[in-house]
Structure 1
Amino acid sequence: MDYLKYGIEVVVKKSEKRKFKLIDYKNIDKNTFFYLCEAEFKGNPKNSRPDITLFINGIPVVIIEAKATLKIDSHLEGISQIRRYEKFSPDLFRFVQFAISYGEEQLYTPTMPNWYKENIHLPAYYWRIRQKINGKKVVKDDIFYILNPSILLEIIRYFIFYRKDEYSKTKTLSKIIARYNQYFATKKAMKRIDEYLSGDSKNKGLIWHWQGSGKTYTMFFIANYFLDKYFSENPVIFFVVDRVDLERQSKEFYEAIQEKKFKTILKRIDSINKLYEVIKSIKMSELSNKVIVRGIYTTTIQKFQYERSKKEKDNNKEKDKDDEDLDLSKPIEEIIKKIEDKLKKEEKEGKIKGLKDLLIILAFIYLKHLKEKNPEEYKKHIENLKKLKDKDKKEEYLINLGNIKRKHILILIDEAHRTQYGILGGMRKITFPNAITFGFTGTPVFKNEKNTFTEFSYPEKGEFYLDVYFIGDSIKDKFTLPLTYQIVKEGDIKSEGIQITLDEEDIKEFIDEWIKRGEDINLFDRKKLPKYINKSKTILLNPKRIDKVAKYIVDRIEEDTENFKFKAMVVAVNRLGCVRFKKALDKYLKEKFGDEAEKWAEVVMTYHHNEEEKEIIEYMKKLKKERNSNDFNEINQIIREEFLNSENPKILIVTDMLLTGFDAPRLKVMYLDKPLYGHRLLQAIARTNRPYPDKEFGLIVDSVGLFKVLTETMALYNMLAEEEIREDFKNNLISSIDEIFQEFKLKLEMVKESLKNLKINDEDLSIDVNTLKTLTKNKDFNNNELKEKLDLIAFYAEDGKNARILKLIDDLKAVIKLYKALGSYPQKIFYIEDIELLSFIYAYLIKKLKPKKKSNRKFWEELISFIHNKMLVDDLTVIEEINLNPDDLDKILKENIGKREIKRAVANYYFILKNSILDKQHDPIYKEILERLERLRRDWIMKRIDDKIYLNAIKNLMELKNNYDKKIKGKSSIERIKESISTYIGENILKDQDIKLNLENTEKLITKMQNLNKLSKLQRKKFKKELSCALLEDLLKELKGKIKDEDAKKVAELSDNLVSEFILKEIWGENYENQ
């Protein structure tokens, strides 16, 4: 990759090196772009032939796999094919940087060599572009946009990287490529940078991207692009966060990205003194070209202190003397001299009290520089200072002299809605007034003095953000999930007179006081809490209320989490609420699920050494004993990791911690029992929106009554956005559980209607679900007609080309998922019979079309759990338990049976034969039978053959299969291998001659190495090569004189394939490569 980006360095003489570029990124027209269809690349066990390969200057850089666009999930087949190419031809992917799968959907994915043939999981994305049509924004798919020569070069240069996390246990190498939202945000940021450095006044921008959209990578893409483009200008880049743990994590994150130029100068500023050193170095670089300060730094906003903390100042015994040194009432020349004498000592001992003093000191250093280099300018500044009698004015003047004037400084601020609005943010801007600053957030704030839009954008000029990535876009792109919101109303919980939810007026006043006093209500003395905060906390902390809410949670949690496939979070009003919820949940979980459930709920919160609350003190004692540790920070970290990576805990109880920045994809349900407001409410509920297998959306269960607050919060955001964004927030942020229920009903009726009117090739395959619901209640119900139709539906859908059937199957799955996702919604019980029948239809079809699904126990358990009719369940379990008997087919062919029965036989015997050998298709004989079977099915559908010819051919294949079964029955694996190869060689190489191969060398080697567990990956690779040689030697020896020279070449090619696709799978299992 580095060769493609930066060229190859070659030693031309002993002391001379020259770099030869493979691609000219500046002069696009000097490159040669071309493509080849089905270009063949050397591989093992076989060569790779991508459908299309794109070349730049003769170097393959992109491959494209094209699949049937009407076939459901065909794009996923393309991705699988690409992953196989990476295994077969790893050297090709030293150059190919990404691939496109063009099928039902169009995806692009990064690629990398897979020399060890491991299962590498790389993401695949949609590429979408935004356009304005008739003044309205339109987003549409356009995968070919990235193949435009200039765009392609840019993506290769700036948007594809390897990543190796040295801090993880596995240290796995992976590859990243920008998503379209990251690319366009980066381009807009670079346009703002270029224009500013060319004279424009705008030097900031807001990147407003919803939670889970990859903001951290976007920050890297912008930083790296800026570094490379302006490298000769010695750029400086700061990644600014607001927590020390994030400072460390962000450095580790960026360090993992394998970009040498970037990594070499990446450092962490982990102290205030280090920040001061960097700032001083930058100032020195402004004064001398000999000082080069090019660098990338991670730091916290908290280090931009106006003054040191009181504790630090108290530790400085020479505080008064320091103040005297900066006494601006003294002559300027005298101050400069004293500063010069003491600066080194002060820096070494860390006595500079804050950024203000540092900038003043830097001002004096600058004045000294002017005195030597530009006396006239120096004299002008001294005269100006002398005119200023007010000390504050003098300080302001000096700070503006001492601050950093350079423009090639980039500041990237994460979670820009936090901690950027007070003195810390002010000091950052004073220190770097000409820097380029971009803020990143998913939830901007805009209240009183805290306004993300005015801080990072130009709302007065009509610009509220530089780039916005809508919630709806994020959901559509499957980076995040929609949220459903359910309000617990008074009466839903058996409260026995205890108030459960807060009154609307209480919530309103609570929030007003919260805004007025500051959001961290835990800082208030309990006795001095404002009226409405105190009242609300009293209601929410009532132990009897918490007990009732906890029981309500336990009663519904199994359904809400879909039998604990997903996890849950309880948000309590404060730390005492956390402890009380823990006690109540433990009690009811144990009652319902047994003793083991005591480990299911855990608390993560802040603990104080001087704790005064008795219940919290008692809990802390218990926790220390259980966890055998006195370090509560460590305990919190362990519980957090357990929640992310283990089965238990299943429930986290929190109040402030983990409500922001906590990424737990398995978290689906949040039981919200705390009044939250504005961006904090959005940040909290977004914890449940991360994608996870089978997770349709996040669920918020509100026992406080915040829905109106949430909608008002949305309204506030909407006022500052365009019409389309207002609609996006309204339509895509959340859907009430009632709206999801309405969506389910509409989808259900659509599916039922599709089934009722189903016809294929003029054949009536209609299924009336409403009629069936009545019939299935009858004890004498016979479902043969239903199964006949389903057999034929599956038969027509087998090749993935009947769009109508495939859409129907997809819709069946969608409606079942919606039903599951309704959780404990009471009205769902009225649709049990509909879902029972649709689940049977879906399961029956999937069982026919994808028989390997039977190995996924959870898949079938979940599906069958919806089906209560014993006959239907039995039909699913015995669907394949039919013997292959050619005599039965003889009877069908000889008897005068009806047309429908004939057609069912056509479908049925196809699936019976196919499914009987599907798991054995690595065997070349069975594989050949499957290929012939599929050709028969296609010929019948295309009406090239009639029913009798088809069934006669099926009968012949069944006999072939049965005869081969008898040959290998009871034989050892090595004997089966010899029998299979003998049969295959006899039929295909010797043209139907019988032969009995001995394969002496092959047998010896297999016997020696049958135990896979004793072999390392390197040993397996070596053994595979040895086995191919042994088999080839045996075959050529035993077939000597029986085959022609051209057949010998075929045997050589065949031996490698037989080893990889048959012998190794036979002795080690189908998935031996993944073991």
Structure 2
Amino acid sequence: MPKPTEHKSVQARILKYACEIGWNVVSQSEAERRRGFNASAASPKEKAKAASRFFADTLFQKVAQFNPQFDAGSPTAKDDLLRLLNLPLPTIHGNRDFLHYLQGVKTFFSKAEGREFNLILIDYDNPANNVYEVSEEYYLYNGQYANRADVVFFINGIPVVVIECKNATKDEAIAIGIDQLRRYHRETPELMVPQQLFTATESIGFSYGVTWNTVRRNIFNWKDEEIGNLEAKLKSFCNIQHVLDLLKKFILFAEQNEELAKFILRQHQKAAVDKVVERALDPTKQRGLVWHTQGSGKTYTMIKTAELLFKAPQAEKPTVLLMIDRNELEDQMLKNLASIGVNNVEPADSIQDLQKLLKQDYRGIVVSMVHKFRDMPANVSLRKNIYVLIDEAHRTTGGDLGNFLMAAVPNATFIGFTGTPVDKTVYGKGTFKTFGIDDDQGYLHKYSIADSIVDGTTLPLFYGMAPNDLLVPKEILEQEFLNLADAYGVNDIEELNKILERAVNTKNFLKGTERVDKVAAYVAKHYKENVEPLGYKAFLVGVDRPACALYKKALDKYLPPEYSEVVYTGNNNDTEELKAYHNDAKREKEIRKKFTKLDEYPKILIVTEKLLTGFDAPILYAMYLDKPMRDHTLLQAIARVNRPYENEEKEMVKPHGFVLDFVGIFENLEKALAFDSDEINAIVKDIQLLKYLFQSKMDKNVPPYLELIKHNFNDKDTDNLIDYFRDKSRRKEFFKLYKEIEMLYEIISPDKFLRPYIDTYATVSAIYGVVRNAYAKRVQVDREFQRKTNELVQSKVAGSVPDFNNEFFEINEQTIEKIKDASGNDNTRVINLIKSIEKIAEENSDDPFLVGIRERAEAVEENYESRQQSTQEALDEIKKLLEEDLKRRKEQAEKGYDDLTFFVYKTLLERGLKNPEEVTGQIKGEFINHPNWRSSEKELRELRKAIYYAVFAEEDDLDKVAKLVDDLFNHLFIAFKL
């Protein structure tokens, strides 16, 4: 029976489907000819040495066509053009520069005209004028590394999209494809300078993102109506107009934490932007509502909408008002606009500034807050090309402010954006009535909580209840908060605080000295046992600022002071107790930044108002809620913990957010949240559901693994486990299951529900420990095996669970004898020997020989685990490796060479160079003279030149010298991970 292959089942199909939607297929040989490969050279590297990244003739022809001022007749015109497009550095900054070239905002100098003109590389207005091509096996060699991309799409001879293809039968195929793309960025960054988009597919999934951002949380699944349909996905994503739109409009570069980052607007964002721009330019309609759940990128959606509206020719130089509802969000919006390079932006710092901008007919983007429309006269501007984009529209236009706004610019188009479900109260109905009148469903575009969870844009949220004695008495909570008529439809935190000011008994209860101490003790214990071992951070939300101060003092009794920080707005009239926690702007910025970082303090932020809206910290996992909240304020607050977080180095993937309720709000969600139940059920789930999930996995999925333990967990069981889990797919399946039940156990605990499962969980944890230790590629961090679980295993099965024998061997004659020894378990010996080689190579990182041995050992491990080699064959291979290295070490000792010098000597000797010892001595001296060659480009060049001269003195063949020196440095770069 035929088997699917990567090329036949994926790569060739992509070329076929691309051809059907207008991309011309260019064969690999033809593409290499057009890129200037040297066809007569002996090796691929030699062929590609002077090759261009572009189809230079096509590129030159189109530049001449699109740019009348470009002196195409000059004999150096083509070289000048290529020199210009080769200027961007192989970095994310260079990639941004190249996108600016593609977007037509970079310039060239016209000698005839004596001035600069925008260089047009792509005709976006007339797509038929461009040349669209696609090729495969795109090869690039940069003198050090060589890589070959599977499929590359070209527009006018410029590579803009790269696709990595994988076989659908391969385990974790798309993840492997993404890793290859990461390798391209590391090894051949020149390849990725013009490339703007990437995808990876095995024909079932279809992941996409932007180059220079391969972080997993910024790689998305391209959705099409037909699951698994490669043809539909390829034809929709690589649709020519779609690719042009992405290049021209939907790729962003932004400064984040003082570093440049690159983003792409996702499908729901692009769809919303397109719909809003279309609505704004529709002369028959003036309203629209965009309902995008919290955490789905609403800010960038608004910014891109504002930018495109301002640039739209049909808008005729409009005024775009970006309306924000909070001071700190206004500052944040201005920073975001600046960081992505949006110009023509004016902040309206006061009511007078706003009126002045409108009266003087300012054309551009104005950032303001809705309260600056208070008492504004009617008909300040009667123009129709005023577009008002209103953030948090469910509350921003409430009361008279909305009336002032709409009366001041009566002919404007008003688009509301909301991040929380529009509620069923008078406020929610008002939102639909205000913004949804031009749409049958009441909204122009919707991206629901359920949609965002399916896409992985946000995470589901689970909650648990604190012990009853810590909860606000139900009758007090209902009397002072839940049953208040004016509490329904709470739209902002100021309104919530006004309600809480009247809740005398509730606040007295929450801030009682004894209770504060008990809650602080409970939070400290819960955090240390359930959150910190996972690596995440937490919020403690107090009812008001005095409560925050009280909690800080109490928490410092149970946790080190550096664990927590208080963040709230200070006031000059504050008491000394409150002033103790005032932070200036610089200090608060530092606290915020450190909180978002893994393994940095603080780990817990104590807040009451600040940071509950607009603060994005994906590492935030748990919220200890001790403030009565409801409606929009509650959803916005708890949405802080539903941001996805992944850290590959620490192997952390945040599964969901968690809220621990110390008030009692979650006992009655119907009263706390006046929203559609379907929306709420999508985000807020009782921890009881986690118990059902844990029970199901323990009862159905775990028993087959328990059956592997047949000898009360003695050494025979350890050997059997090692043999059973040689198969990678078995390990992957088991590790995935264990990580799921471990996470569930950590969240649910402590709870009497877990009592019947303690022994079983301890056993499966012990199995995991043995298998992980046997097959781990590197030493795991402590949190990999949760502290609570470790203690449980030690207490329940101590003495009966043998540790896996991590016995490391030196590479010497005794090791060879150990391999020959027939006693002992061969599986264990294979694993320990390979681990020994990896460990020795790691500890002797300056020995280039050990790198090669480690790579060969890893190949043995791969064949052994996939059962392509028997245990004895694996031992024989390892024995051969060790014998070779022992022989090398003896020869090296006789010569008296260090590792690097002997490596140079052997390289020269194997290439047949005359007088290798004399040349080696010269080269050793050059390495001593250039001690910083690994970190300094200048010293590396000088060292390479000196070695050329030393070798050339003994060898007349220039090509042979060049190849020898290139090979020498390539091996050294690999050995030293340069």
**TM-score, normalised via structure 2 length:** 0.78
Letter in 1 for 2:636: Q
Aligned residue number for residue 928 of structure 2: 1007
Aligned residue number for residue 664 of structure 1: 617
Aligned residue number for residue 822 of structure 1: 748
Aligned residue number for residue 475 of structure 1: 453
Distance in 2 of aligned mates of 1:922 and 1:25: 53
Q: CA deviation at 1:157?
A: 0.5
- Is contact 2:474-2:664 (8 Å) kept? yes
Aligned residue number for residue 954 of structure 1: 878
- Is contact 2:224-2:232 (8 Å) kept? no
Q: CA deviation at 1:237?
A: 1.4
Letter in 2 for 1:128: W
1:670 alignment partner, SS class: strand
1:174 alignment partner, SS class: strand
Structure 1 residues 956 and 179, CA gap change in structure 2 (3 angstroms): same
* Cα deviation 1:270-303 (Å, max 9, x = unaligned): 1222211221122xxxxxxxxxx43112111111
Deviates more, 1:142-151 or 1:243-252: 142-151
Aligned residue number for residue 298 of structure 1: 367
Structure 1 residues 509 and 525, CA gap change in structure 2 (3 angstroms): closer
Q: Does 1:6 align with 2:104?
A: yes
- Is contact 2:708-2:720 (8 Å) kept? no
Distance in 2 of aligned mates of 1:502 and 1:704: 12
Q: Does 1:977 align with 2:900?
A: yes
Distance in 2 of aligned mates of 1:572 and 1:475: 28
Instruction: Give ranges in structure 2 of 5+ residues lacking alignment.
Output: 1-98
Q: CA deviation at 1:986?
A: 4.2
Q: CA deviation at 1:241?
A: 0.6
Distance in 1 of aligned mates of 2:873 and 2:157: 52
1:101 counterpart (196, 200, 210): 200
- Is contact 1:213-1:479 (8 Å) kept? yes
Aligned residue number for residue 964 of structure 1: 888
Structure 1 residues 431 and 701, CA gap change in structure 2 (3 angstroms): same
Aligned residue number for residue 345 of structure 2: 266
Letter in 2 for 1:1054: D
Q: CA deviation at 1:642?
A: 5.9
- Is contact 1:417-1:444 (8 Å) kept? no
Distance in 1 of aligned mates of 2:159 and 2:175: 23
Query: Paired residues, what number?
Result: 864
- Is contact 1:744-1:818 (8 Å) kept? yes
Distance in 2 of aligned mates of 1:73 and 1:415: 40
1:221 counterpart (304, 325, 345): 304
Matches within 5 A, 1:508-547: 509-515=482-488, 520=495, 522-523=497-498, 529=502, 533-547=503-517
Distance in 1 of aligned mates of 2:748 and 2:895: 52
Aligned residue number for residue 842 of structure 1: 768
Matches within 5 A, 1:325-340: none
Q: CA deviation at 1:476?
A: 3.8
Aligned residue number for residue 371 of structure 1: none
Q: CA deviation at 1:250?
A: 1.2
2:739 counterpart (804, 808, 813): 813
* Cα deviation 1:115-167 (Å, max 9, x = unaligned): xxxx996963213336499xxxx9999476322211111100101133346xx
Aligned residue number for residue 342 of structure 1: none
Matches within 5 A, 1:595-614: 597-610=560-573
Aligned residue number for residue 881 of structure 1: 808
- Is contact 2:538-2:605 (8 Å) kept? yes
* Cα deviation 1:68-126 (Å, max 9, x = unaligned): 555555544433433332344444433211222336964323225xxxxxx99696321
Aligned residue number for residue 422 of structure 1: 399
Aligned residue number for residue 34 of structure 1: 133
Letter in 2 for 1:1060: F
2:669 counterpart (710, 731, 734): 710
Aligned residue number for residue 643 of structure 2: 690
1:26 alignment partner, SS class: coil
1:734 counterpart (663, 666, 684): 684
Letter in 2 for 1:4: L
**TM-score, normalised via structure 1 length:** 0.72
Aligned residue number for residue 614 of structure 1: none
Distance in 1 of aligned mates of 2:973 and 2:644: 36
1:842 alignment partner, SS class: helix
2:394 alignment partner, SS class: coil
Aligned residue number for residue 1058 of structure 1: 971
Matches within 5 A, 1:48-59: 48-59=147-158
Distance in 2 of aligned mates of 1:1001 and 1:267: 65
Aligned residue number for residue 411 of structure 2: 434
Aligned residue number for residue 849 of structure 2: 925
- Is contact 1:129-1:141 (8 Å) kept? no
Q: CA deviation at 1:678?
A: 0.9
- Is contact 2:848-2:900 (8 Å) kept? no
1:717 alignment partner, SS class: coil
Letter in 2 for 1:1005: E
Distance in 1 of aligned mates of 2:725 and 2:322: 57
- Is contact 1:1031-1:1055 (8 Å) kept? no
Q: CA deviation at 1:636?
A: 6.2
- Is contact 2:562-2:601 (8 Å) kept? yes
- Is contact 2:534-2:783 (8 Å) kept? no
* Cα deviation 1:371-425 (Å, max 9, x = unaligned): xxxxxxxxxxxxxxxxxxxxxxxxxxxx4xx54232x322222222232122222
Greater radius of gyration (CA): 1
* Cα deviation 1:931-964 (Å, max 9, x = unaligned): 5456656767888776655543332222113333
Q: CA deviation at 1:234?
A: 1.0
- Is contact 2:620-2:641 (8 Å) kept? yes
Q: Does 1:557 align with 2:527?
A: yes
- Is contact 1:564-1:650 (8 Å) kept? no
1:238 alignment partner, SS class: strand
Aligned residue number for residue 287 of structure 2: 204
Letter in 2 for 1:743: L
Distance in 2 of aligned mates of 1:890 and 1:787: 22
Letter in 2 for 1:710: L
Letter in 2 for 1:125: I
Aligned residue number for residue 1022 of structure 1: 938
- Is contact 2:309-2:315 (8 Å) kept? no
Distance in 1 of aligned mates of 2:605 and 2:874: 60
Q: CA deviation at 1:837?
A: 3.7
Aligned residue number for residue 701 of structure 1: 660
Q: Does 1:153 align with 2:244?
A: yes
2:937 alignment partner, SS class: helix
Structure 1 residues 932 and 132, CA gap change in structure 2 (3 angstroms): closer
Aligned residue number for residue 702 of structure 2: 752
Aligned residue number for residue 490 of structure 1: 468
Give the aligned CA root-mean-square deviation in angstroms. Answer: 4.1
Aligned residue number for residue 787 of structure 1: 719
Distance in 2 of aligned mates of 1:655 and 1:729: 23
Distance in 1 of aligned mates of 2:863 and 2:578: 74
* Cα deviation 1:614-645 (Å, max 9, x = unaligned): xxx35136557xx7xxx7x7876666566556
Aligned residue number for residue 763 of structure 1: none
1:127 counterpart (221, 225, 236): 221
Aligned residue number for residue 96 of structure 2: none
Letter in 1 for 2:131: T
1:581 counterpart (541, 545, 551): 551
Structure 1 residues 489 and 459, CA gap change in structure 2 (3 angstroms): farther
Letter in 1 for 2:495: D
Letter in 2 for 1:817: M
Aligned residue number for residue 34 of structure 2: none
